Homo-oligomer: A and B are copies of this chain.
């Protein structure tokens, strides 16, 4: 079956600090023309950091939702940054911990219908505390929860952050 949608024209609408927005004119496999709105994002990293039986979570105000969310430590890739380097940087910035053991858990696409955002997932173990130094303008509080309590928080709807659920499922499947 032919799925491919071909780009006829691409118009940049907005070139921001976090997102770029494009409106593309496309040709559907049927030959018809249509439009696609596309958000471009630099991508990011998410870290399941295990401190013995406990998981590090962060609490952060998320402006688009006007809500404080519980999430795993995570962050955007900087220009040209390698995902693994970004994961080490973000874990330390948000929680103050470095990890001596890292496991690659693949990647996910957060919103493939309208965004190219790709998140690289990691497990970090054998943690050592250094110091916390969040980005300017980022107010983040770090917590430690037992693994089973995190699963309960996912079950009862206290944790609703998609990337957090993705990492936990990949880690669970990989055992």
Residues of chain A at the chain B interface (Cβ within 8 Å): 1-5, 13-14, 16-19, 21, 23-24, 26, 28-30, 32, 34-41, 44, 59-65, 67-69, 71, 76, 106-117, 119, 137, 139, 141, 151, 154-155, 157, 160-163, 165-166, 168-170, 172-174
CB neighbours of A35 from chain B (8 A): 17
CB distance from A77 to the nearest CB of B (A): 12
Looking across the interface, which residue of chain B has its beta carbon closest to that of A14?
B13
Q: Does B162 contact A119, Cβ atoms closer than 8 Å?
A: yes
- Could you write out 8 A-B pairs with CB less than 8 Å apart? A17-B37, A36-B64, A38-B63, A38-B64, A64-B114, A69-B112, A106-B160, A154-B170
CB neighbours of A63 from chain B (8 A): 5, 24, 26, 36, 38
Looking across the interface, which residue of chain B has its beta carbon closest to that of A29?
B139
Q: Does B3 contact A109, Cβ atoms closer than 8 Å?
A: no
Copies of this chain, count: 2
Looking across the interface, which residue of chain B has its beta carbon closest to that of A175?
B155
Q: Does B64 contact A161, Cβ atoms closer than 8 Å?
A: no
Q: Does A21 contact B29, Cβ atoms closer than 8 Å?
A: no
CB neighbours of A117 from chain B (8 A): 111
Q: Which 5 A-B pairs have the closest CB atoms?
A: A3-B61, A62-B112, A169-B169, A108-B162, A165-B166
CB neighbours of A151 from chain B (8 A): 173
User: CA–CA, A22 to B60, complex, Å?
Assistant: 21
CB distance from A175 to the nearest CB of B (A): 9
User: CA–CA, A107 to B168, complex, Å?
Assistant: 16
Q: Does B160 contact A174, Cβ atoms closer than 8 Å?
A: no
CB neighbours of A40 from chain B (8 A): 64
Among B5, B162, B170, point to the contact of A110 (Cβ < 8 A). Answer: B162
